[in-house]
Amino acid sequence: MIGPQAAGTWYDDMSDNANGPAGAGRSRLDWLRRYGLPLALAVIFAGLSAATPNFLTAQNLIIVLRQISINGILAVGVTFVLLTGGVDLSLGSVLALSGVVAAHCAHPGAWPLAFPVVVGMLVGCACGGANALVVTRGRVPSFIVTLGMMTVARGLALVASGGKPVSNLSKGFCLIGGGEALGIPVPVIILACVAALAYVVLRHMRVGRHVYAVGGNEAAARASGLRVGRIKCFAYVTCGALAGLAGVVLAARITTGQPNAGIAYELDAIAAAVIGGTSLSGGVGGVGGTILGALLMGVINNGLDLLNVPSYYQQIVKGLIIVGAVWIDRGGRR
C-alpha cells in the first residue's frame, strides 16, 4: 500500500526516466530536496560564525534550542495533519487555551505537578477531536474548520482567563518551561522526546504507515479497507495534544497563562514542516525534516538578532524561505 520510499524520506520517488533535459532537471531538484536543507544549515552556520563571534558559543546554541522548543513541538504535531493532506490553523489559539486552563490548575498546593500537564494536553485533544469530527463527518475543508477553531479557542481562552493573565503558578510547574537537567533546558528535552516518539510512530508503526497512505491517495486508501476517518482523527487529536503540551510549556516558561499567547504560531509551525520537506498535498514528509526546518528558522532568527537586523526584515527573510520551500516541493511533485 505504501512503500518505504514514501514513508521514509522527505521526497517523492522520481526514479523514472532521468535521461534528457527534463529528467536531468528532476534529478537536480530531487537532489536539492534531499540535501538542500542540511546544506543550507551548514552554510548558514558557517556564515553566522564568521559574521559574529557570539553565534557559535555553547550559551547561544542553548538559547537557540530553547527558542525553537515551542515551535518544534507544534511543528511535529502539525506534521501529522499535513501528511494526511489537511492543515491546522488553530494551533496558536489551542496553545493559548491549553496554557490558560493548565495555569488555573498550577497554583501552589492545588494539584500534583502532572495534573496541569495532563489537563492542558486533554484540552488540546478535545480541540483536535472537534476539528477531526467536522472534517471527517461534516466533510468541511480542514482550512475552514481549523480557521473557525482558531477563533473559538481564542475566545474560550479569554473567557477562561477573564481577559487577564493567570498568574501565581507553582515553582515546580514553572520548572517545566524554565528549568534545566544536566545543563539542558527542560523544554529541549521535551521536544527531543516528542520528536523521537513521533518518529517511531510514523516510521515503525502501522498507524504511521496508514497516515502516509491516506495523504498519498485517500481514495486508494479507502478502497484498500483503511478507516480513513479514524486515521484523520488520530492525526488531528495528536496535533491538538501537542499544541496543548506546547501551551503548558509556554505558560511554565513565561510563568503565566496568557490568553493572547501563540498569535501566528501556527504559521511558524507549518513553515517549519514545509521547509523540512513535508508536502502540503500530503503523503510526503517526516519528523526529522520538520525538526531541521524548525532549527533552520531558529538559527536564522537568532543570527539576525545578533546582527541587529530589524524584526520586519526577518519577516521578509522567513517569507522568502517558505515560498522557496513550497516551490521546490511543487516542482518535485510535477
pLDDT tens readout for residues 262-309? 998 998 899 899 888 898 888 888 999 999 999 988 998 888 888 888
pLDDT of residue 112: 87
Beta bridge partners of 257: 166
pLDDT of residue 22: 53
Contact 252, 261 (CB under 8 A): no
Cell triple for 87: 492543515
Residues, the chain: 334
Closest C-alpha among 205, 211, 248, 245 to residue 227: 211
pLDDT of residue 17: 43
pLDDT of residue 141: 94
- What percent of the chain shows pLDDT beyond 90? 60
Q: Is the dihedral angle over the CA atoms 197, 203, 205, 206 positive or is it negative?
A: positive
Q: With a cut of 50, list the residues of the chain below it in pLDDT.
A: 1-20
CATH class for the domain made up of 38-333: mainly alpha
Contact 238, 88 (CB under 8 A): no
Q: Is 135 exposed, middle or buried (0-12, 13-18, 19+ CB in 10 A)?
A: buried
Contact 155, 231 (CB under 8 A): no
Q: Is 183 exposed, middle or buried (0-12, 13-18, 19+ CB in 10 A)?
A: exposed
End-to-end CA gap in the chain: 22
- Residue 220, phi then psi, degrees to nearest 5: -65, -40
pTM of the model: 0.88
Q: Is 166 helix (H, G, I), strand (E, B) or coil?
A: strand
Contact 257, 162 (CB under 8 A): no
Domain ranges of the chain: 38-333
Q: Is 15 helix (H, G, I), strand (E, B) or coil?
A: coil
Residue 184: its H or E element = strand 184-185
pLDDT of residue 320: 83
Q: Identity (one letter) of the amino acid at 266? A: E
Contact 278, 289 (CB under 8 A): yes
pLDDT of residue 210: 96
pLDDT of residue 15: 35
DSSP character at residue 185: E
Contact 287, 94 (CB under 8 A): no
pLDDT of residue 150: 96
Cell triple for 177: 518551561
Within 10 angstroms of residue 45's Cβ, the number of other Cβ atoms is 15
